[in-house]
């Protein structure tokens, strides 16, 4: 009898991997509450008079009217906004977009989750796409790549540029986390590579005083995704004809922004710097752009272009389906018709956060 009891006790004890999965599931279930408590704690500390908390909430190193330097303290701001974006994403999806998706009678919980995620992404790209254009329009580099390099290094930057740049960096760091909590995509490796390269480009360009170039790159990346997210939302809501129009706008804007404009920026990094200053490494003067740095940045930008060209080939396939009457679908997304166990991460986000509507019998 004791042997049988021992076997039962062994069987009933969950393995470490199961305990980790349960912990992961709990963290995702209360993601908005956990991240929100951190955000609220920082705000309360600031209101209670702790000046150090201000580094998390506001940008630092102001040296003059609308002039800001850079420093290690910027990492506090980026950390806070990484948590803030986690909170905003989780709370908007759980308490805003999921109920809205439920209102449109989307029966499949997985599809409700996807449309809620796309509503959040759409809102982000609208806000920061407009913010990026605003920063560029109010700077000297509006459609003028020579201003990327004239008077380099641009050590001091404006308030708007600093907020925009550091919040973009925080968003892309948070996207690494989000990529591993959403349903696994068919192009997971390409997407993860894209995010990592983007983080390296944004973070390092901030440090080496190339924020004007980074502003141009981010604008090239963000604008067409507004139409993509909108097309996905319309598809999930069943507005097929309008979805095709939105996808058409996306298909037109993608090659213009992500290949033509993006290639112009890459060309500028490869060709123009030597026209305006001597390529040298002199940190004491804020100069970090030598021949080696130039090769690294050109390589990173070309790597992004390769990934985007891979996606563009997928877009062309979808366009061909449109003309054959097969409708539109984002080839970079997860395949929702496949079995979830074969197409998802072990720790994917639960889609049951918003219950289905109950219909009267």
Q: What is the pLDDT of residues 293-346, one digit of tens each?
A: 999 999 999 999 999 999 999 888 888 876 776 555 555 554 444 333 333 333
Average model confidence (pLDDT) across the chain: 85
In whole angstroms, what is the distance from residue 63 CA to residue 77 CA? Answer: 18
CB 329 within 8 A of CB 318: yes
In whole angstroms, what is the distance from residue 304 CA to residue 258 CA? Answer: 10
pLDDT at residue 15 in the model: 64
- Return the number of other C-beta atoms located less than 10 Å from residue 227's C-beta: 21
CB 141 within 8 A of CB 215: yes
In whole angstroms, what is the distance from residue 329 CA to residue 240 CA? Answer: 10
Largest CA distance in the chain: 87
Element (H, E) at 210: none
pLDDT at residue 84 in the model: 96
pLDDT at residue 184 in the model: 76
pLDDT at residue 65 in the model: 93
Question: 107-116, 183-192, 205-214, 242-251 — which one is most confidently predicted on average?
Answer: 205-214
* Model confidence, pTM: 0.84
Q: What is the pLDDT of residues 237-255, one digit of tens each?
A: 888 889 989 988 999 999 9
Distances 22 to 15, 17, 71 between C-alpha atoms, Å: 11, 9, 39
Lowest model confidence (mean pLDDT) among 98-112, 262-276, 302-316, 317-331: 317-331
In whole angstroms, what is the distance from residue 27 CA to residue 316 CA? Answer: 39
Element (H, E) at 63: strand 62-64
Q: What is the pLDDT of residues 130-167, one digit of tens each?
A: 999 999 999 999 999 999 999 999 999 999 999 999 99
Distances 10 to 13, 15, 221, 319 between C-alpha atoms, Å: 5, 10, 53, 56
């Amino acid at each position: 009898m004791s042997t049988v009891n021992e076997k039962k006790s062994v069987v009933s004890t969950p393995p470490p991997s199961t305990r980790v999965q349960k912990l992961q599931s709990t963290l995702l279930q209360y993601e908005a509450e956990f991240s929100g408590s951190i955000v609220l704690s920082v705000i309360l500390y600031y209101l209670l008079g702790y000046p150090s908390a201000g580094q998390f909430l506001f940008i630092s190193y102001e040296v003059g009217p609308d002039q800001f330097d850079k420093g290690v303290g910027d990492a506090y701001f980026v950390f806070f906004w990484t948590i803030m974006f986690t909170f905003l994403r989780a709370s908007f999806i759980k308490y805003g977009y999921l109920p809205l998706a439920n209102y449109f009678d989307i029966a499949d919980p997985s599809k409700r989750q996807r449309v809620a995620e796309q509503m959040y992404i759409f809102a982000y790209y609208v806000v920061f796409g407009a913010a990026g254009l605003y920063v560029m329009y109010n700077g000297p580099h509006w459609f003028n790549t020579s201003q990327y390099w004239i008077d380099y290094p641009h050590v001091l930057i404006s308030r708007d540029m600093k907020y925009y740049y550091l919040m973009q960096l925080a968003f892309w760091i948070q996207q690494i986390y989000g990529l591993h909590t959403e349903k696994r995509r068919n192009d997971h490796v390409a997407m993860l590579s894209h995010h990592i390269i983007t983080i390296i480009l944004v973070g390092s360009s901030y440090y080496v005083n190339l924020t004007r170039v980074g502003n141009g790159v981010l604008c090239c990346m963000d604008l067409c995704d507004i139409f993509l997210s909108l097309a996905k939302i319309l598809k999930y809501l069943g507005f097929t004809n309008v979805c095709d129009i939105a996808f058409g706008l996306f298909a037109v804007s993608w090659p213009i922004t992500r290949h033509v404009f993006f290639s112009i920026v890459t060309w500028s990094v490869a060709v123009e710097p030597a026209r305006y200053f001597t390529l040298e490494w002199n940190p004491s003067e804020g100069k970090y752009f030598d021949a080696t740095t130039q090769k690294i940045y050109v390589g990173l930008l070309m790597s992004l272009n390769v990934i985007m060209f891979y996606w563009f080939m997928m877009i062309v396939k979808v366009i061909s389906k449109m003309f054959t009457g097969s409708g539109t679908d984002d080839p970079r997304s997860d395949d929702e018709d496949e079995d979830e166990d074969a197409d998802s991460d072990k720790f994917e986000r639960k889609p049951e956060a918003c219950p289905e509507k109950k219909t009267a019998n």
